[in-house]
Amino acid sequence: MRPLRSLILALATAACFCAPVHAADSGPAADVAGIRQVVEQFQAAIIAHDGKTLGSLFLQDHDSWLSVADDATYADVKKRHPDAKKIMRSSWKEFADDIRKSTKAVEERFYNVRIDTNGAVGSVYFDFDFIQDGKVNNRGSETWQMVRAEDGWKISSMLYSVGR
């Protein structure tokens, strides 16, 4: 009976280590709060069609912006457009201009936002729904690389998936 008790105890202990791990924000609280403020400003600027505020959230002299189609979306697009690329390059300037010019209601909802920073650099990772005229136009995951510049936190690069 003793070996059975030991086995049960060992399995119960192992189960404790198999529990799901939830990501949490990490880094100095003031810096996490500063980055979170950029996230909130980004979302509000999209809803307000405020391209100027959107643009102010990015490093002005740096422009790394990539989108990557998920496999299902890419296969679907490829059927209609054989020359379509899986990875597409754009810019924050183009995005801010598109938001500013949009005549439809637009919003980007973020879920599972995770922020990690050491106070000088940071990253933001989240899942999102991009909503245009009340309908989900795109959904996926997005990541920002951030730097703390002289005038506060700025987005230096962005990478997101394109899905449906």
Average pLDDT (117-145) is 96
- What pLDDT is recorded for position 23? 54
- What pLDDT is recorded for position 42? 97
Q: For tokens 């003031």, what's the residue?
A: 30
Euclidean distance between CA atoms 85 and 92, whole angstroms: 19
Across the beta sheet with 135-149, what order do the strands follow? 87-89, 64-69, 152-162, 135-149, 121-132, 106-117
Which of 35-44, 63-72, 119-128, 139-148 shows the lowest mean pLDDT across its residues? 63-72
- Average model confidence (pLDDT) for the chain? 87
> pTM of the full predicted structure?
0.81
Is the pLDDT at 13 greater than 50, yes or no? Answer: no
